Amino acid sequence: MILYINCCVRAESRTDRLARAVLQKLGGDYTELKLYKEKLSPLDSKTLNKRTELIEQGDYSDRMFDPAKQFANADTIVIAAPYWDLSFPAPLKTYIENIYVTGIVSAYDENGLPVGLCKTNELYYVTTAGGPYDPTYSYGYIESLAKNFFGIPVTHLIKAEMLDIAGNDPEALLNSEINNLL
């Protein structure tokens, strides 16, 4: 199963267009999770306490764990998020808080080191940027989580950048990246 995690808010989102090209190249059906429709909440004291208690009991039956199970069971993951403030929009961070559940996506071995539990083989991070793209706080962060904690061995960055620079032709830049994929 391909899981498409869509964190694009604008109706005419260029990041979403680039991600659809990635999905087309991957072929097959995909399940789309629209983060702006899902309205997941950041962990607060109530949900964090509840979650900690359930994890301690080894009880993962609560619906609060459904997003983590869906993430861990995907064969391929495509995340689309525009480059915002050197990073990505807040709903993606909220999503990560919700899916990063010890015992579902990750565990600790006898030496206290993280071991990934995800079945996922590949993760694609798709983004577009108005200026030059620095991956440190977006793709770099997701890549580190995927490889070091979730057990996802291969990650890819797909990007189009410099789209909002005066004098640039954003359509041509975006289409060139799309054509490179297809």
Ligand X SMILES: Cc1cc2nc3c(=O)[nH]c(=O)nc-3n(C[C@H](O)[C@H](O)[C@H](O)COP(=O)(O)O)c2cc1C
Ordered alpha helix ranges (H), 6-124 = 14-26, 35-38, 45-57, 66-73, 90-99
Among 86, 90, 154, 181, binds ligand X (CB under 6 A): 86
Residue closest to 9 by CA, chosen among 94, 70, 87, 80: 80
Among 42, 131, 140, 153, binds ligand X (CB under 6 A): 131
x/- letters, 34..73, toward ligand X (CB under 6 A): ----------------------------------------
Q: How far is the CB of 26 from ligand X (least distance, A)?
A: 19
Among 15, 98, 120, 138, binds ligand X (CB under 6 A): 15
CA atoms within 13 A on the CB side of 101: 30
Among 26, 32, 40, 84, binds ligand X (CB under 6 A): 84
Give yes or no for residue 94 binding ligand X (CB under 6 A): no
Q: Which residues contact 166 (CB under 8 A, 6 or more apart)?
A: none
Please state the three-class secondary structure of 74-107 as a single string: CCEEEEECCCECCECCHHHHHHHHHHCCECCCEE
Among 85, 113, 172, 179, binds ligand X (CB under 6 A): 85
Q: How far is the CB of 108 from ligand X (least distance, A)?
A: 35
In the bound state with ligand X, the residue whose beta carbon lies nearer, of 12 and 44, is: 12
CA dihedral sign of residues 37, 98, 68, 149: positive
Site residues for ligand X per CB under 6 A: 8, 10, 13-16, 82-86, 128-131, 163-164
